[in-house]
Structures are given as structure tokens and as C-alpha cells.
Amino acid sequence: MRPYLSLILTFVLVLLVLIGLSAVGNVDFYRQDENESDPVRSSYNSGPTGTRAFYQWLEESGYPVMRWRDRFTELKHKANDSLLILIGPSAATEELEENEALPLQEWLEAGGQALVISRHPAEQLGEVGVEAQLPADAPDKSTSSDQPVAGPSDALIVQPTELTRGLHGLVLSDYATRLSFTVPTRAATTETESNQSKTNENSQPAVYLGKWSAPVVHLGDKTGAVLADFDYGAGRVVFLSDPYVISNHGLARGANLQLALNLINALGRDRKQIFVDEYHHGYRREENALVRYFRGTPFWWVMGQLLLLGLLLVYSFGKRFARPLPLPRVDRHSPLEFVSSMANLQQAARARDLAIENIYPRFKARLCRRLGLMAKATPQEIGSVLRQRTQFASRAAELEQTLLECEQVLATTKTDDRRLIELVTTMRRVAAELK
């Protein structure tokens, strides 16, 4: 241990320095305040622009709410007769790709219900028929994390409906966009359809992309709608153009919580399952849980550095940066080496009589001395005396037979290894009792 102490201390010191450098380069010790220029609308975010309070309020109120972390292609399999809440902007702040938008729209047309809370809902729904315009007097989004609050928003209530019930004192932010809706169309995709539309003036030059109905505007003004809903095929879509209403910073203000309650009760009747989209905020089910846990931390840099140091350590142990050392010398003066050599020679020559010759004479002399007999006594004489002693009376016959067989082995009678071991074991056991 002592020769490697300096190497170990150096390794630990270098490791600590690398970890410190990684932490300084990857960890924000002074986290910037969230603002509306780069909001994080995830239900995992407890910051001012997050929606964690809204999600926990649904949980604690007994609503069957879950986070959606799959692709929209799984909606028809896992979210039948459910409510999907889409809160924007997503992590990518881009419109949905076609392989995500089409399954979502088909799910809505088949009877799904969606609550889209975003200042630019076209990005979450993938629908080109929704246009959003920021108010001309909106302040700079990067000024503060405390969203500027507009004046009394009750004037935006267009008509009394189930969604506007009890909204006295509603508080919206100055960033609430105004939505306008047009019937989305899709140009003919084939050259034949294009030619037919040119030759026939009565034919329609485009086909409908979605099954829109006339919007019902609940909140808005002359510049556009703030809260509106549609029948989308057999389903229903509700648009709210100000996520501030359900954000952690604005949920408890004014009648915002009442508006959120109206939306959930109107769309989630009969306590249907409610899903909050987290897939497009980066929390995806197919992503490894361990990778997601360490995402945004210097963990992987530290692991890479540890691996590099480990490889360097293994390489250094395989190399000697000094003069070669002589081979270690084996001590040949041990008594056990002679015993081991003799045993190997006797085993190779099958000289079992030599093994008996090394053990039997001393055992017999000791036994005769203990019994008061001459050293030249025969096995029969020894056996007769043993039968008179109460200590060895029960094993007199076995010991007499052992002595006779040892005499026969010494007289060049052959035996096998098994019987040789039995004879030696018997003599060792009796010798231990003689002590």
C-alpha cells in the first residue's frame, strides 16, 4: 500500500480538479430568472412560467390527470374518450411535424377533445387555420419574470357561457394574443386534380384539411378572440391564447383559477382521463430514465474523465518506468520442501510400504510403552492387552487388525491408496487419544 500511496493521492487530486472544472463549466450557480421571451411551460417546472401548480391542483382535486410522454400516434390506442391539454410553447418552439400533426387531427376528428393553451396555438395543433397576433402595446418579453398584468379583463367577456361563469376579476397578461380563424385548405396534390380545377370553373380548387365548425368566442375584443372553442369533426377544441392564466405565477390571481376550473369541467365531464402533454417539452417515454435524470448536469463529462483516468491507470500499471528488477528468488531451505519432495517421489514410485515404514514403527513403540509391553510385542499380544483396558476395549479388534495389516505391508504385501489412507487415519486417531 505504501509504495502506491503517492500514486493514489495524485489520482484523487487530479480527479477532484476535473470534477471541479466540469461543475464550474456546466452548472449555473446564478440561474437567470424566467421571462416570457423563453418560458418553460412544462408541468415539471416550478418556476414562474411553469405549470406545476396547475398540474398538482388537478391531482389534489381528484381529477384523473396524467402526463403524456408518448407520440401523438399513440393517442388512438391510449387516449380514447380523453382530454388532452397542450401548453405552448413546446421545448422546440416549432410547429408539429406532419407525422405528429396528422395523428392528432385524426384523433380529434374521431371524437377526441383538446385544450390548447398557447399564444401561438398553430405550433401545438399543427393547424394552419389559426392565426395569432400580439397586441401592439405589449411590453418587451425579456424585461422581467413578473409578467405585466393587463387592466381589468372582465371587458373581454363576450357572452355568458359555461366557460365564462364566475370570471369576475379575471387577470390576463399583456402578452395575450388575439386569435383569428380561417377555414384551412389544401391545394390539389396531383397534376390531374390541378388540371381538372382549371378546366372546370364550378369545381372547388381546394379541399378542406380539417372539419372546422363556426367558432364560439367566449373572451375577446374587436381585434380577435382570447378564448374560443370549435367542434372539430366529432371532437372539440378549445383555444386559450394566454398561458399566464394557468402558470405558477398567475393561477392564483383574480378569477384565473375559476377559468381553469370552467375549462376542465366543460371538457372533462364524467371525470374522463386528462393528459397533459410533456412529450413535446422533452420528457419522452422512450428516453432512458437514467439519461433523463442526469440531463443538464456534468455527470457524463465526469464519467468520461473517469474512464480516461482508468485507462491511463491500467496502462501505467502495465508499464515500468525504471530499470528492470531481478526475478524473485525462491527459498529452498524450508523443511516442508523436503517432505513434499519425498512424498512426490513415493507417490510416483507407488512405494506405499515406505509411507507405512515412516509412521508404523514409532506408533507401535509409543503404544507398547503406554500399555507396558515390550517394543517387539506381536499384534495379538497388544490386542489382548487392549481388551483388558476399558478405554480401548471397544476398538481392540479394529486396532489389532490395523497392526496386522501394517506388518503385512512391511512384509512386501501390496495395498492400495484407499486402504493406506484408512490405516494411517486409524493410527493418527489412536495416537491423539494417547496424549
| pLDDT tens figures, 27-55 | 555 556 777 777 888 999 888 889 999 99
* Residue-wise pLDDT tens digits, 268-298: 777 789 999 988 888 876 656 666 666 667 7
pLDDT at 171 exceeding the cut of 50: yes
Cα diameter, the chain? 140
Highest mean pLDDT among 109-118, 189-198, 295-304, 414-423: 109-118
Sign of torsion, CA 397 399 401 404? negative
Question: With contact defined as beta carbons under 8 Å apart, do 211 and 232 qualify?
Answer: yes
pLDDT of residue 184: 53
Residue 185 CB-density burial (10 A; 0-12 exposed, 13-18 middle, 19+ buried) = middle
Q: Which residues of 340-353 are buried (b: 16+ CB within 10 A; e: fewer)?
A: eeeeeeeeeeeebb
Domains of the chain: 20-287 (3.40.50.880), 336-433 (no CATH)
Report the percentage of the chain scoring pLDDT > 70.
Answer: 77
pLDDT at 182 exceeding the cut of 70: yes
Integer Cα distance of 255 and 153 in angstroms: 10
> Strand, coil or helix: what is 337?
helix
Highest mean pLDDT among 54-58, 119-123, 135-139, 177-181: 54-58
* Residue-wise pLDDT tens digits, 373-431: 888 888 888 888 888 876 767 778 888 888 888 888 888 777 777 888 888 888 888 88
pLDDT of residue 146: 57
In the structure, what pLDDT confidence band is assigned to residue 195 with cuts at 50, 70 and 90? very low
Identity at 405, one-letter amino acid code: E
pLDDT of residue 296: 65
Per the confidence metrics, is the pTM higher than 0.75? Answer: no
The number of residues making up the chain comes to 435
* Per-residue H/E/C for 1-28: CHHHHHHHHHHHHHHHHHHHHHHHHHCC
* Structure-block grid coordinates of residue 406: 501394517
Question: With contact defined as beta carbons under 8 Å apart, do 226 and 239 qualify?
Answer: no
Residues 6 or more apart whose Cβ sits within 8 Å of residue 115 = 83, 84, 85, 86, 238, 240, 263, 267
Calculate the CA 86 to chain-centre distance.
Answer: 26
pLDDT of residue 328: 79
Integer Cα distance of 215 and 232 in angstroms: 10
